[in-house]
């Protein structure tokens, strides 16, 4: 008998937890100014805002697109050089204060490599960190990140319209 009562209690608790509440809220504000809340606990897809950067010196240029996706910085980067090997690939990392700490996975000279790259945000621009690298296999990292000097490429923020066309290789 106790097992039957316990089973009935568990079933009734499960059924009552599955019911959705239907509340009616009355307000004098117009409908378009109300916030809409989701009915489920499913995660809401984040909205990311793409920011684009460019630096051109003579016939050489650097292109970067960045998006902050819930704290993870993702994007693309391309070094387009006139008489040297160019590279193009993806960047991923995070931001710590004004410093972007990224890994650049790229194609150059027919092989895939990875390089750690830091940028410092200065207003609407980003400045590349310069420092000694160590290489292990196909991965290059800063030997001493705290000794970086932010005096490398200064990329200026630009409009992202048709920016992907600049990433196409010829």
Decide: helix, strand or coil at residue 11.
Answer: helix
* Separation of alpha carbons 92 and 142, rounded Å: 16
Residue 168 — pLDDT band, cuts 50, 70, 90?
low
* pLDDT tens by residue, 78-125: 988 888 888 899 999 999 999 999 999 998 888 899 999 999 999 999
Site of tokens 């960045």: 66
What is the pLDDT, as a whole number, of residue 166?
Answer: 55
| R_g of the chain computed on alpha carbons | 26
Is residue 66 predicted with pLDDT exceeding 60? yes
* Separation of alpha carbons 129 and 152, rounded Å: 6
Please give the share of the chain, as a percent, with pLDDT higher than 70.
Answer: 66
């Amino acid at each position: 008998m106790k097992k039957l009562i316990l089973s009935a209690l568990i079933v009734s608790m499960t059924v009552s937890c599955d019911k959705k509440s239907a509340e009616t809220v009355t307000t004098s504000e117009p409908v378009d100014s109300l916030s809409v809340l989701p009915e489920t606990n499913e995660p809401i897809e984040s909205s990311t805002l793409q920011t684009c950067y460019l630096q051109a010196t003579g016939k050489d240029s650097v292109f970067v697109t960045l998006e902050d996706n819930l704290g993870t910085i993702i994007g693309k980067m391309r070094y387009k050089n006139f008489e040297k090997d160019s590279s193009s690939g993806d960047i991923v990392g995070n931001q710590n204060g004004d410093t972007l700490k990224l890994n650049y996975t790229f194609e150059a000279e027919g092989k895939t490599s990875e390089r750690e790259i830091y940028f410092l945000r200065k207003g609407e621009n980003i400045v590349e960190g310069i420092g000694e690298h160590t290489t292990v296999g196909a991965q290059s990292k800063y030997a001493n990140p705290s000794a970086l000097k932010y005096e490398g490429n200064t990329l200026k923020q630009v409009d992202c319209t048709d920016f992907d066309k600049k990433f196409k290789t010829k």
